[in-house]
Structure 1
């Protein structure tokens, strides 16, 4: 029953877009009344979250390929995954908003755990270091997991990564919000190129920027 509603929501997203998802449409498509949905989902945003996760696989698959490429340093891998994240988020802003930015209440981690318990195949063959990152919808935690790998290879100092993470996320969020709300004239490719350029400059020059004193504790 849970899957019926998620798959109906995914179909509406694919055909009409996230803003056009309503409880009534989902119920009608699934063949049940609206009240039944609330036996399985606390609110519409949770249903949209689960359905949106089904559209995240192209990004996940592309990120996995980066982790399988031989010879990349942690920094090269970090920047490449950021580039892929930007490409997919600017091409599918409503999907990424539903997963990473929308207000889901106090239980986003529980929602993600439940999703992977129902669709475990989505985590098959995911490298351990990437699986840790994919295991949380908290974009701040995702960034910190990735930056820890740069610390291990000596690219960054441990005391700088909180500030680096905050700066990189603010850059993406600012560009993404403008793009999502049609306040930017950039194409997805242009938005990706500019965002990644700023992130690259921060990461490559972080150890000379004395960020630790300004990091939010």
Structure 2
């Protein structure tokens, strides 16, 4: 039943857009009453969150290919940003629901529930990548991965939190700007600008003598 309502919500999003999802529409499409939907979901935002996650599969499938382009942790991490920007700015409303909007609940709990149900989404992904995806808080996802760069001597431990938080705020700010139409930029331009700002933020904390080890070619 839980999956049935999530799939119905996905249908509404595909036909009418995520901003037009209502409990009544989902219930009608599934052939049940609104009260039945509330037996499985505390509020609409939870249902929309779970449905939005169904639209991230292309990103998850793409991620290993981007990571493989890097030869060290910083390069790999920057390429994960390229992948994330590509997909998140292509579907900004979807990614805002997952990473920005107020869910009225603990996001980690919702994510754990989601992947218990849709565990197949993770099949074939290397274990380190699974751990990143299963960590919902964006800055913690970054810190979890970037920490390995400390062992490689590319950054200092004190800089992990800084670049994790800073790059997350850059992305959130640009995504919000796009959604609110506060700048006259295309989603492709916004994705590239975000990626450029992320790159510059990271390079600032890398010791000068180590910067030559970072060679990324964004498309």
Question: Take 1:153 and 1:128, find their aligned partners in 2: how far apart are those partners?
Answer: 20
Deviation at 1:71, TM superposition (A): 5.9
Counterpart of 2:55 in 1: which secondary structure?
coil
Q: Over residues 134-180 of structure 1, what are the superposed CA-to-partner deviations in whole Å (9 max), with x where a residue is unaligned?
A: 01221121111121122222211111111111211111111111001
Unpaired segments ≥5 residues, structure 2: 209-219
SS at match of 1:54: helix
Provide runs of 4+ in structure 1 moved above 6 Å: none
Tell me if 1:192 matches 2:191: yes
Note if 1:54 corresponds to 2:54.
yes
Contact preservation (8 Å) 1:59, 1:88: yes
For 1:70 and 1:89, the matched residues in 2 are separated by 20
Q: Name the residue aligned to 2:79.
A: 80
Give the alignment's TM-score, normalised by structure 2: 0.90
Q: Tell me how far apart the structure 2 counterparts of residues 138 and 15 of structure 1 sit (CA, whole Å).
A: 29
Q: Distance in 2 between matches of 1:70 and 1:34?
A: 47
Counterpart mapping for 1:38-117 below 5 A? 38-67=38-67, 69=68, 72-117=71-116
TM-score by structure 1 length?
Answer: 0.91
Offset, 1:208? 5.6
- SS for the counterpart of 1:166 is helix
Aligned residues: 208
Q: Is 112-121 or 183-192 further displaced after alignment? A: 183-192
Structure 1 residues 81-134: Cα deviation after superposition (integer angstroms, max 9, x where no partner): 101111111110111011111112232111111111111101111112111110
Q: Which shows bigger deviation, 199-208 or 120-129? A: 199-208
Is 162-171 or 90-99 further displaced after alignment?
A: 162-171
The 3-state SS of whatever aligns with 1:41 is: coil
Match of residue 149 from structure 1: 148
CA contact (8 A) 1:82 1:196 kept: yes
Aligned to 1:175: 174
Partner of 1:139: 138
1:130 matched to 2:129? The reply is: yes
Distance 1:14 1:173 in 2: 24
- The answer (yes or no) to whether the contact 2:69–2:76 under 8 Å persists in 1 is no
| CA distance in 1 between partners of 2:198 and 2:129 (Å) | 20
1:8 and 1:122 map into 2 onto residues whose CA distance is 19
| Distance in 1 of aligned mates of 2:84 and 2:135 | 15
Instruction: Tell me whether 102-111 or 127-136 shows the greater mean CA deviation.
Output: 102-111
